[in-house]
Chains A and B, each alone.
Chain A
Amino acid sequence: MRPAHPGRPLLLALALCLGCQRASSAAPPGAADAPACAPLSAAAAAEPSQPLPPLDLTLGAPGEPAPADEIAFSHKAHAGDCRIPCLACHVYATTSPVAGIPSGRKCMGCHKFVAKEKPGVRILAARVKAEQPLRWRRVFTLPDFIYFSHRAHLRSKAKLECKDCHGDIAAEKVVRQETPFTMGRCLTCHEQKKAPRDCTTCHR
């Protein structure tokens, strides 16, 4: 085991922890889900040459609507038109209960060269340059008392694919949750696929 790196900021970790603490959660929250898209916000229009104000990463009062994403990210453009496979960005999906969201740097891996002048990408660049985290609105959520494992589903005999639960994201400019994650939906599928239907499979 390698020693930890004290100096390194673990912002996702922080957010996740805050998240799951607030969520009083069994489920690894957040990262399981694809980032949401929203119409271009005022911040996006702002000239990225001047530094952007850091985002508020606190959770805010329960129930308040989350502010729109400042980057109009389109899954259609990436997964659809450019045919980037889901796992290229959501790298942890097969190794962890959590799928994970690409870091700003990972985005820049391509956007150093691609579509540099697009307003969204300029904001991205500015954030990454300033070592500020990005912030996405979450679309897909599970109740806090559910344990869900991406790796278990993706590597199961049932040969599941992302779209089986998340819908055809590649076709969606703005991701919506077409069908809600209800217990009934999970159970029906588990029944068809001969997967365990024991309560404790998900409730822990």
Chain B
Amino acid sequence: MKLTRRNFLGSAVGVLGAGLVEGCQEKLPRYLVPYTAPPEDVVPGVARRYRTVCRECPAACGATVRVREGRAVKMEGSPEHPVSHGALCPGGQSAIERLYAPTRLGAPWAGGLQIGWDRAEAALAEGLKRALDAKQPVVVLTRPERGQLGALFGAWLTALGQPASQVVTFDPMARGWLREGQRRAFGTAGTPVHDLAAARLLLSIGDDFVEEGSPVEAARALAAQRAAGGRSIYVGPRLSLTGASADEWLSVEPGTELTLVLGLARQVLELGAPAAALPAGALQALRGRLAPYDAATVTSRTRLSRGTVAELAAALAGARPSLVVGPGRAVAGGDAAALAEAVHVLNALLGNVGTTVRFLADPAGLPGMELAEFTRRAAAGEIGAVILHHADPLGYGPAYAALGKALARVPFVAAFTNELDATARQAHLVLADHHFLETWSDVSPRPGLRGIQQPVMTPVLGTRPAADELLAAARALGRTAGLPEGTFGDVVRQAFSEQEIEHGLKVEAAEPLPVSLQATALRDLPAPAPLRGPGMGLPLVVAPTIRHLDGRTPRSALLQELPDPLSGHSWTGWVELHPTTAAALGVKASDVVALEGPGGRVDLPAHVTPTVRAGVLGVPVGDALPLLDGHGPIGLGVRATAAPTGLRRPLHLPEAGHHQHGHELARSVSAASPKLPPQEPLPSMYPPVIHPERRWGLAIDLDRCTGCGACTTACYVENNLPIVGPEDIQRGRSMSWLRIQAFVDETPTGPQASFLPLGCQHCTNAPCESVCPTYATYHTKEGLNAQIYARCIGTRYCENNCPYGVRRFNFFEWPRPGNERLGLNPDVTVRDRGVTEKCSLCIHRIGEGEELARLEGRNQLRDGEIVSACAATCPTKAIVFGDLKDPGSEISRRAADGRAYKLLGELNTEPGVVYLARRREKA
């Protein structure tokens, strides 16, 4: 191009021009579009709340969904629900993200092509018809559906002239060994209910109950138990979140947990346990069966010191009541059932049965077909058609390879799903189901409790509810005997009263089962089962994580962005190696290690940490799947070989310290005298800051925090935080306003984990405020450290000068794919690139609360009337939001506690966030 004066000038100004264009983009909507007919229950600009049930995991917490202009923008726990008590876990908080996720299916698929619903329905009916004509069975393969939908499946099969028992429940994370052990010990089926909170001493045999099972309920119970002064001990080769919250972590040789428990049982008997509960004969028999497990055997096998075991036994015998839970997946070896049996026996000996362990009668349900049997028959080509309902066996790796092959032999497979998962890809017909926030259903997390799931909004995409599609197919086939006339939604609605639906919950009577120890208990104990695996590999601990529970795919982008509580890694898998193990293998942190298991091979970067026992491989369940074979439940008693590959895959911020380097950030006090030396106020050159009416703040009790990350996730959804993706996370550009820092400090008694939820401290003398040249950040009269995005020019001086490093910078205009824009919270500004942001203490909630109060003519606010998103969702109420100037408020009570301290108090920033040191037996 010839450089004329004109185009020279052009290119010269181009540089600045690019900037100016950025500056003045017209972003406002140009039209106003009124309703055609105004819905009487919607006021534009005012949020409505609906009760429903969270279906992200089988725990089925009751939920409240905030809806703005007909779009769900936030989900929180339902305060009335006995499981959630107003809280949700990270999974529940990510439900909104999944609802609008770009990976969601919006239309039916067949042969890799999108098709219309007419064709899809026709195809479904046709497929079923063929199977029926061929007199081949039709099978429904579903995720656990403990509610009317499960019943409907049965009725539907009956209508098709099939045995109603042809419903296969697919639950890879089901802990069947617990039921088996229960059957052996007590001879009863029934749902065990644990009262964690009541236990003076809680012994968990590798049961990571705050991550698997029912995270919210369990975490709340654990916090209550600690608050009541109860002790908790975690046994297992890897430190899980439960272990991190426990007072003590006993790391035993993998596969020897059974020996330990039996040894404890024996010593407890010797100490004269409340044997009254047992028939004398049974007691005699037990003594005999426990004889071989003397202290010597136990110590030699478990590698625990004789003293430790004796102490533990004494403590158990002494504590009234105590509770032994487990075994969890993390320890369950080949002899899981026997271990479960032993745990039940130990509980019985300790007199816990009936007090902290109760059994509820299971609701009468149809005995479904076993997965194994289904696989066999399908492989034999006997099955004519399979309806998959949110079941994705092939997503769980080689463990279900056989099932995959079998499915391939089924002439017709239709999959109801939200996302195109591995199994759906194999299906002949994929039917896009509603998200659980868009449809009716109900689910019973445990006997006596039924959660009601109601649609809170019109569907985002062109999906249709699975149940209604099945009914439609039945109608098309003219086989409607015993099926409801209307939609499944009507069925659910009719089953509950208006009021029950409003509360999203129905409580029924559930009578406890009387149980007594079988005389045959512990009769045939297996020899300690050797762990399976190629060669003499290392024991593999397959760890469930709070983020990905069972490692289901496709994963929520939000949960992948959320750092793992203990390791701090996002967007990647990892293998945990003890420093000694790593040294032996010759690998350093972030070196890629090749793992070879019975199922296959996977390469993972090494996370070198003392939180896993030496000579043991710890892998999150999602990443371990390729290693596992179909033998027994997922990930039990497996060995794997590990070898360095010479490659490196840097894990997030390798420089980041994993211990505190003497900085006393996450502090602890001795449980005996929970008091910290007082921090006397330091002199300041600035005039004292006055808060005329209120001083908002947070009180964070480290003694309650389990590090689950629900607060962080809630913050992402509430405040429209962008998801930056793996590359930028790698560069340390996470936009999280509230991060949970895990420190693992080496102590004489082994590694000690502590969690520190860290967001903006809303300092009274904020270092960030004085340095901002434009007043973009300043201190409000109510004690907030406010950030005015419109005024921020992005000098990032504030971020440099924040000793807590909690300010975030928008390096890019982060993408929001799919319909994610619809899920944005309209009350919170979405930040442009080039500006700094940080925790606002949910200033929009504060503003709304105060506005409403003013409209009611009140100036006073009740404590708890305004709650920040993080505090609202914290399962253990570790985080409390409130007014520090209100002497009656919970936060003030906590601030006055002897354990209260301010972070980096020596800098005299006078934070508005109060931390309460964690109680430890040895601090």
What residues of chain A have their CB less than 8 Å away from a CB belonging to chain B?
A: 1-26, 28-31, 33, 35, 57, 59-60, 62-64, 66, 92, 95-98, 100-106, 128, 131-138, 141, 143-145, 147, 149, 151-152, 155, 198-201, 203-204
Is A155 touching B855 in the complex (CB atoms < 8 A)? Answer: yes
Query: Known: A96-B46, A134-B33. Contact between A26 and B822, CB under 8 A?
Result: no
Query: Known: A22-B29, A35-B32, A98-B44. Contact between A198 and B781, CB under 8 A?
Result: yes
Is A131 touching B36 in the complex (CB atoms < 8 A)? Answer: yes
Which of B122-130, B158-166, B318-326, B452-460 lies at the interface with chain A?
B452-460
Is A24 touching B69 in the complex (CB atoms < 8 A)? Answer: no
Is A13 touching B44 in the complex (CB atoms < 8 A)? Answer: yes
Is A24 touching B45 in the complex (CB atoms < 8 A)? Answer: no
Is B828 touching A28 in the complex (CB atoms < 8 A)? Answer: no
Is A17 touching B69 in the complex (CB atoms < 8 A)? Answer: yes
Give the distance in Å from the alpha carbon of A10 to the alpha carbon of B784 in the complex. 37
Is B43 touching A59 in the complex (CB atoms < 8 A)? Answer: no
User: Contacts of B840 on A, CB cut-off 8 Å?
Assistant: 204
Shortest Cβ distance from A5 into chain B, in angstroms? 7
Nearest residue (CB) in A for B501 is: A3
Q: Does B26 contact A (CB under 8 A)?
A: yes
From A15, A23, A64, contact of B28 by CB (8 A): A23
List CB contacts (< 8 Å) of B36-52 with chain A: 36-39, 41-46, 48-51
User: Contacts of A2 on B, CB cut-off 8 Å?
Assistant: 41, 502
Is A10 touching B35 in the complex (CB atoms < 8 A)? Answer: yes
Is A145 touching B790 in the complex (CB atoms < 8 A)? Answer: yes
Nearest residue (CB) in B for A7 is: B458
Is B844 touching A26 in the complex (CB atoms < 8 A)? Answer: yes
Query: Known: A131-B36, A199-B778. Contact between A13 and B26, CB under 8 A?
Result: no
From B28, B34, B854, contact of A29 by CB (8 A): B28
Is B43 touching A19 in the complex (CB atoms < 8 A)? Answer: no
Query: Known: A145-B790, A204-B829. Contact between A12 and B781, CB under 8 A?
Result: no
Is A144 touching B34 in the complex (CB atoms < 8 A)? Answer: no
Is B31 touching A137 in the complex (CB atoms < 8 A)? Answer: yes
Shortest Cβ distance from A116 into chain B, in angstroms? 19
User: Contacts of A64 on B, CB cut-off 8 Å?
Assistant: 30
Shortest Cβ distance from A72 into chain B, in angstroms? 16
Is B42 touching A203 in the complex (CB atoms < 8 A)? Answer: no
Is A12 touching B44 in the complex (CB atoms < 8 A)? Answer: yes
Q: Does B511 contact A (CB under 8 A)?
A: no
From B29, B44, B789, contact of A96 by CB (8 A): B44
- Beyond A16-B44, A135-B33, 11 additional contacts (C-beta under 8 Å) are A1-B51, A4-B457, A10-B458, A15-B32, A17-B69, A22-B29, A28-B44, A92-B43, A145-B829, A152-B851, A199-B786
Is A1 touching B39 in the complex (CB atoms < 8 A)? Answer: no
Shortest Cβ distance from A58 into chain B, in angstroms? 9
From A4, A59, A96, A199, contact of B31 by CB (8 A): A59
Is A18 touching B29 in the complex (CB atoms < 8 A)? Answer: yes
Q: Does B497 contact A (CB under 8 A)?
A: no
Nearest residue (CB) in B for A3 is: B454
Nearest 3 CB-CB pairings of A with B: A21-B821, A98-B45, A19-B29
User: Contacts of B778 on A, CB cut-off 8 Å?
Assistant: 199
Sample (7) of A-B pairs whose CB atoms are under 8 Å apart: A9-B36, A26-B829, A92-B45, A133-B36, A145-B790, A200-B788, A200-B843
Is A149 touching B851 in the complex (CB atoms < 8 A)? Answer: yes
List CB contacts (< 8 Å) of B169-210 with chain A: none
Give the distance in Å from the alpha carbon of A138 to the alpha carbon of B32 in the complex. 6
Q: Does B25 contact A (CB under 8 A)?
A: yes
Nearest residue (CB) in B for A157 is: B854
Is B843 touching A198 in the complex (CB atoms < 8 A)? Answer: no
Q: Does B253 contact A (CB under 8 A)?
A: no
Shortest Cβ distance from B51 into chain A, in angstroms? 6
Give the distance in Å from the alpha carbon of A31 to the alpha carbon of B69 in the complex. 11
User: Contacts of B51 on A, CB cut-off 8 Å?
Assistant: 1
Give the distance in Å from the alpha carbon of A45 to the alpha carbon of B41 in the complex. 36
From A62, A96, A103, contact of B35 by CB (8 A): A103
From A12, A24, A106, contact of B830 by CB (8 A): A24
Is B71 touching A103 in the complex (CB atoms < 8 A)? Answer: no
Is A20 touching B826 in the complex (CB atoms < 8 A)? Answer: yes
Give the distance in Å from the alpha carbon of A95 to the alpha carbon of B38 in the complex. 15
Q: Does B526 contact A (CB under 8 A)?
A: no
Binary per-residue interface labels of chain B (792-831) against chain A in the complex, 1 for a CB within 8 Å, 0 otherwise:
0000000000000000000000001000011010111111
User: Contacts of B459 on A, CB cut-off 8 Å?
Assistant: 6
Shortest Cβ distance from A170 into chain B, in angstroms? 19
Give the distance in Å from the alpha carbon of A2 to the alpha carbon of B503 in the complex. 10
From B41, B44, B851, contact of A92 by CB (8 A): B44
Name which of B32, B489, B788, B855 has the most chain A CB atoms within 10 A of its CB. B32
User: Contacts of A96 on B, CB cut-off 8 Å?
Assistant: 43-46
Give the distance in Å from the alpha carbon of A3 to the alpha carbon of B42 in the complex. 12
Is A147 touching B32 in the complex (CB atoms < 8 A)? Answer: no
User: Contacts of A152 on B, CB cut-off 8 Å?
Assistant: 851, 854-855
Is A200 touching B847 in the complex (CB atoms < 8 A)? Answer: yes
Is A12 touching B458 in the complex (CB atoms < 8 A)? Answer: no
Name which of A5, A15, A20, A149 has the most chain B CB atoms within 10 A of its CB. A20
Is B32 touching A101 in the complex (CB atoms < 8 A)? Answer: yes
Give the distance in Å from the alpha carbon of A121 to the alpha carbon of B199 in the complex. 73
Shortest Cβ distance from B495 into chain A, in angstroms? 13
Give the distance in Å from the alpha carbon of A198 to the alpha carbon of B51 in the complex. 36
Give the distance in Å from the alpha carbon of A88 to the alpha carbon of B99 in the complex. 37
Q: Does B438 contact A (CB under 8 A)?
A: yes
Q: Does B27 contact A (CB under 8 A)?
A: yes
Is A144 touching B28 in the complex (CB atoms < 8 A)? Answer: yes
Is A136 touching B832 in the complex (CB atoms < 8 A)? Answer: no
Q: Does B67 contact A (CB under 8 A)?
A: yes
Query: Known: A12-B34, A17-B69, A24-B832. Contact between A29 and B29, CB under 8 A?
Result: yes
From A25, A136, A141, contact of B826 by CB (8 A): A25
Name which of B28, B49, B840, B844 has the most chain A CB atoms within 10 A of its CB. B28
Nearest residue (CB) in A for B43 is: A96
User: Contacts of B826 on A, CB cut-off 8 Å?
Assistant: 16-17, 20, 25-26, 28-29
Binary per-residue interface labels of chain B (489-509) against chain A in the complex, 1 for a CB within 8 Å, 0 otherwise:
100010000000110000000
From B26, B28, B34, B788, contact of A102 by CB (8 A): B34
Is B786 touching A10 in the complex (CB atoms < 8 A)? Answer: no
From B29, B33, B39, B43, contact of A23 by CB (8 A): B29
Is B25 touching A62 in the complex (CB atoms < 8 A)? Answer: yes
Nearest residue (CB) in B for A56 is: B31
Query: Known: A105-B37, A198-B781. Contact between A62 and B27, CB under 8 A?
Result: yes
Shortest Cβ distance from B690 into chain A, in angstroms? 14
Is B455 touching A4 in the complex (CB atoms < 8 A)? Answer: yes
Query: Known: A203-B788, A203-B790. Contact between A10 and B42, CB under 8 A?
Result: yes
Is A128 touching B36 in the complex (CB atoms < 8 A)? Answer: yes
Nearest residue (CB) in A for B65 is: A4
Query: Known: A4-B455, A133-B35, A200-B786. Contact between A23 and B45, CB under 8 A?
Result: no
From A5, A21, A25, A101, contact of B829 by CB (8 A): A25
Give the distance in Å from the alpha carbon of A133 to the alpha carbon of B32 in the complex. 10
Q: Does B7 contact A (CB under 8 A)?
A: no
Give the distance in Å from the alpha carbon of A96 to the alpha carbon of B851 in the complex. 11
Give the distance in Å from the alpha carbon of A199 to the alpha carbon of B51 in the complex. 35
Give the distance in Å from the alpha carbon of A20 to the alpha carbon of B489 in the complex. 32
Is B28 touching A141 in the complex (CB atoms < 8 A)? Answer: yes
User: Contacts of A17 on B, CB cut-off 8 Å?
Assistant: 69-71, 821-822, 826
Is A31 touching B44 in the complex (CB atoms < 8 A)? Answer: yes
Nearest residue (CB) in A for B493 is: A3
Name which of A6, A19, A35 has the most chain B CB atoms within 10 A of its CB. A6
Nearest residue (CB) in A for B45 is: A98
Query: Known: A1-B502, A10-B69, A10-B70. Contact between A200 and B784, CB under 8 A?
Result: yes
User: Contacts of B489 on A, CB cut-off 8 Å?
Assistant: 6
Name which of B43, B70, B457 has the most chain A CB atoms within 10 A of its CB. B70
Give the distance in Å from the alpha carbon of A98 to the alpha carbon of B826 in the complex. 12
Give the distance in Å from the alpha carbon of A68 to the alpha carbon of B878 in the complex. 55
Query: Known: A17-B71, A97-B45. Contact between A12 and B501, CB under 8 A?
Result: no
Give the distance in Å from the alpha carbon of A150 to the alpha carbon of B867 in the complex. 24
